[in-house]
Every structure is written in structure tokens, then in C-alpha cells.
Amino acid sequence: LAIEKDIRKGLENNEFIPYYQPRVDIRTGRVVGMEALVRWHKADGTVGNPGEFIPVAEETGLIVQLGERVLREACRQTRIWHSAGMDGLRVSVNISAHQFRANLVDMVFNALDESGIDPELLELEITESTMMSDLGQTVSLLERLAGRGILTAIDDFGTGHSSLYYLKTFHINTLKIDRSFVEDILNDENDANIVSTVISMAKNLSLQVVAEGVETQEQLDRLREYGCPEVQGFFYSRPVPADDFEIYVRKTN
């Protein structure tokens, strides 16, 4: 594939750059962390979105190398921000299926050692479908990550084969409620009930919960009413380059 060759070249030239989207404490309005979302800064000056290259990277296995780049850079950047007084910010990094089954634990431990950030400040976002393919291995991977204090989140919660069994079996810290539920929270009673129920359930299970895809004040108000502790979405900021994220945090916190 032409794109596969381009991705290889892009990796050689360090063209895959994390952008950052703030995660916000709904009560204080302060930024408590950021999700790293990769962008491709191509030689021709255009910027590629994950939809164009993540599926190919996943199919070809290049995601392992690409994901490692993003993880290391996100940890390095977090360290820099901490040293610059933006301490306490947690960083969340998306881990795809292939990456999860590769040398994930070594890769993550190395990235932590290299950057020197506290393991409790790193969260790995893993989807339900990734987690469910080999339950035994999933349990042991999550245990090893937790053993070092690294946080894990179920990403896009509610869209895959969600099972309450996972919530009692997997050592995870956070549920990220998929934005498809938040999108219609004001108009669709089912979506509203699902979101409110997931928030209560998370609290009862002592899990952190984040609503994704918040775009309006009205959605935010509703989530507050439901007791949602943390939110993320275009209402606050799109994913932006590191410099812009830093400006945003200094203005907000």
C-alpha cells in the first residue's frame, strides 16, 4: 500500500505528533489532565487525522511503533509541564488492540523511566473490544500495569460489548462515556438515562468517570445534575498542539 510506505517514511521523519485535549473537573472548571490524540504533520504542510492512518497502521502493525512514539512524547511533554509548574496534570494515551497485545508493559515502563513522571499521572485508554479478545491476558496485563500504579480507562464505554463482568474482573480505574451518548443527552431519554446510570454505577464501584464529547453549556449542566465529576469536549477545547494547550491551561487554572 502507498499509505503504508508513507506512514513508514512519516515515522522516520518524526511526523506523528500528539495534540492535547483538556479534561476538566466539572465543579472547579480546572484542567486536571489531557488526552493525547495523534496528528500527522506531513512534509507537504498538511495535517492528517487518525481516521486516515490509524486503521492502516493497525493492520500493518506499524501502530506499535507509532503508538510508542506518541506515548514517549506525551510522557516527555507531561514531565516538561510539571517542571514548568503545571503540576498534577494527568496524561491519557490511547492504546490500540495490536499495541495492547504487543510488548505493552515494557514499552510503558520504559516510557515512564525515560520521562521520570509518576506512574499515577499516566492513564492508558483501552476500548472494550480490545480488552475482550483474550480475557486471561487482559486481566494479567491490567494487573501488571496497576502493580506499578499506572491508571487504565475503558474508552468509548457503552459502544462495544460492554459487560458488567468486565467491571468486576478487570483492574481498571476510569470509564470514559462515549460521546454518542452525550450527544443526545438533552433529546433522547434513553441516552440521558444511560449516562446518569453509568455515572451512578461508576461511583458505586469507586471508578472515575468522564463524559466525552461535551459541546454545549446545556449538556454540561445536565452532566453536572447527574453528578458527573469530569468532562471533556469541544465545549472546552478541541485537541490542540502542545503550545496552545499550555496557553489554555495557564489561562484557565
Instruction: List the alpha helices (DSSP H) in 116-205.
Output: 128-132, 135-147, 164-169, 179-183, 189-204
- Tell me: does residue 10 bind ligand G (CB under 6 A): no
Task: Determine which residue in the list 138, 155, 199, 228 makes contact with Na ion, applying CB under 5 A.
Answer: 155
- Tell me: does residue 48 bind ligand G (CB under 6 A): no
Residue 153 binds which entry of Na ion, Mn ion, ligand G, none, with Cβ cut-offs from 5 to 8 Å by kind? none
| Beta carbon nearer to Mn ion, 128 or 155 | 155
Say if residue 46 is exposed, middle or buried (CB neighbours under 10 Å; 0-12, 13-18, 19+). Answer: exposed
- Residues 103, 99: Cα–Cα separation, whole Å: 7
- Residues 209, 23: Cα–Cα separation, whole Å: 11
Q: For the segment 166-205, give every residue that binds Na ion (CB under 5 A).
A: 176
- How near is the Cβ of 33 to Na ion at its closest, in Å? 14
Whether 231 and 24 have beta carbons less than 8 Å apart is answered as: yes
Q: For the segment 157-216, give every residue that binds ligand G (CB under 6 A).
A: 179, 212-215
- Tell me: does residue 73 bind Mn ion (CB under 5 A): no
- Tell me: does residue 38 bind ligand G (CB under 6 A): yes
Name the grid cell of 162: 460492554
Q: For the segment 79-118, give every residue that binds Mn ion (CB under 5 A).
A: 94
- Tell me: does residue 49 bind ligand G (CB under 6 A): yes
Would you report the helix, strand and coil content of the chain in percent, each value rounded to 5?
A: 50, 20, 30
Burial 160-177 (b: 16+ CB within 10 A, else e): bebeeebbeebebbbbbb
Task: State the number of binding residues for Na ion (CB under 5 A).
Answer: 4
The C-alpha angle 237, 19, 186, rounded to 5 degrees, equals 35
Task: Determine which residue in the list 24, 26, 37, 91 makes contact with ligand G, applying CB under 6 A.
Answer: 37
Q: For the segment 221-250, give every residue that binds Na ion (CB under 5 A).
A: none
- Which residues of this chain interact with Na ion, rule CB under 5 A? 155-156, 176, 212
- Which residues of this chain interact with ligand G, rule CB under 6 A? 21, 37-38, 49-51, 54, 67, 70, 94, 96, 125, 155-156, 179, 212-215, 233-234, 239
